[in-house]
Amino acid sequence: AEHQHARYNPLRDDWVLVSAHRVKRPWQGQLEKPPPEDVPRWDPNNPLCPGATRANGEVNPQYEGTFVFPNDFPALQPDAPKPGDSDHPLFRAAAAQGVCKVMCFHPWSDLTLPLMSLAEIRAVIDAWAELAAELGASYPWVQIFENKGAMMGCSNPHPHCQVWASSFLPNEACLEDRTQRQHLSQHGVPMLLEYAQQEAIRKERLVVENADWLVVVPYWATWPYQTLLLPRRHVCRLQDLRDSERDSLASIMQRLLIKYDNLFEISFPYSMGWHGAPTGPYLKEDCGHWQLHAHYYPPLLRSATVRKFMVGYEMLAQAQRDLTPEQAAERLRSLPEVHYKQKSK
């Protein structure tokens, strides 16, 4: 807690420098603008709202729950041509096909996940699992991710996420596949199943838990209030969750996200995403080394206006953090589980 040291991340096979004393240094750098509190519930000019017209001229239905549609500006397309052969090993290219979808969580623009009901969050989880199974029938990787807040590059305040399915395994998937496979081979137990069991015993990095899930600030966390959401039993993919586990997932997500919002009493920005065993052709292979999990990467460090920047040393050497994961977990753990906007209700 007082002296710098390095911690190993077995999931990414890299290291993070922990320098807890640096959090005391004065800040005269950039201050972020807090997220707006006056987002209109419905805006006819917002392309994600029910009944609104999107950029391609299509009109959204008057949806009342979740709503999934093809991304109007996809990063991946199913019919993209293959690049030509390279004439040198330093100038390689490869085929990249896929599909990109957008999923609205709710018809109201002013309602984020922590303010939704458990039934509404459960509907989001079911839609995630359905998309993972549908796209995973043919694509090797289905990446579900949410960028929340303008600070994380989100261009629209309406509660939504994206789902990109690709014909290839992305870098992070390849890395986690290798490290989890090696751990199972060497230790006889899936890495993140063993890790969840250890964190449940140690408790110093535990944020919230229930019968099926636990959320920790991982021992190797890079971002200040980064968390890892883990199931207690061995589960390879989101679509493999039992009905009861989906209910308890909705509950623990709500509890975590309320704590996030309560930390600085704002709609807390983050990027999050699910990682599970590859799909498509991998459905026929043994992927028992994989354990389903979700990463949450929030950028804020000291307040609603001071963020952590990944620059300089982080870009040129290795990741570095200014407070210990244990300190971050203790602060999150101690926060109330009633949303600050609902305290007076």
Residue 168 marked ligand-binding: no
Catalytic residue among 5, 88, 106, 160: 160
Confidence tier at 152 by pLDDT (50, 70, 90): confident
265 carries a ligand binding annotation: no
Whole-model pTM: value is: 0.95
- Per cent of the chain over pLDDT 70 is 95
pLDDT band at 30 (very low <50, low <70, confident <90, very high): low
Assess whether 187 carries a catalytic annotation.
Answer: no
Q: How confident is the model at residue 32, as a pLDDT? A: 67
Q: Which residue matches tokens 């002013």?
A: 110
- 313 assigned ligand-binding residue: yes
Dist. CA 292–CA 289, nearest whole Å: 10
pLDDT tens by residue, 217-268: 999 999 999 999 999 999 999 999 999 999 999 999 999 999 999 999 999 9
For residue 38, what pLDDT is reported? 81
Binding residue per annotation — 25? yes
309 marked among binding-site residues? yes
With bands split at pLDDT 50, 70 and 90, how would you rate the model's confidence at 99?
very high
Tell me what pLDDT residue 25 has. 57
- Scored b (16 or more CB within 10 A) or e, 190-225 reads bbbbebbeebeeeeebbbbbeebbbbbbbbbbbbbb
- Rg of the Cα trace of the chain? 21
- The rounded Cα 242 to chain-centroid distance in angstroms is 21
Question: What are the chain's domains?
Answer: 40-81+91-335 (3.30.428.10)
CA distance 119 to 106: 12
Is 72 annotated as ligand-binding? yes
Least-confidence region, from 19-33, 73-87, 134-148, 321-335: 19-33
Only one residue has tokens 């807690």, namely: 1
